[in-house]
Structure 1
Amino acid sequence: MQITINNEVLDITAGTTLQQLVFSRLGEKQNGIAVAVNNTVISRNLHDSHILQPHDTVLIIKATQGG
């Protein structure tokens, strides 16, 4: 099935959780991120139970330092 992640169309396996997707993109380094699915922020404690659906739009925002 297809989803969009940060404006990139991606084919993923049906039943993929949000946590699996984030881990595949960022690995272990997930500090300082926020994730939204279809313009709704999903709490980190729900990532492992949130099953992605066809045509979902996922946005991963990573905090950066600077001034």
Structure 2
Amino acid sequence: MKPKSSGDNPWRALALVGALGFEVAICTLLGFWITKWIFGTTGWMITGIFIGLAAGILAAVWLVRKALEGSDE
């Protein structure tokens, strides 16, 4: 029988998924709000949303790499 590792914890997996969603959402909203505050035009707000989304995805990738750093796979 294989001993359980810390990666087998369902609460840890739930926390990781929640953190991923939270990170992407916050980065996207920040991109929107910052460009709305600075420029105020629709074109720049859409650009800010995409920049925030890209930053959120990069942060999510970094978080997953950090979470899987100690796993066997």
Higher RCO structure, 1 or 2 (CA under 8 Å, sep 6+): 1
Same-fold status (TM-score > 0.5)? no
Report which of the two has the higher share of helix. 2
Larger radius of gyration: 2
- TM-score normalised by length of structure 2: 0.21
Report which of the two has the higher share of strand. 1
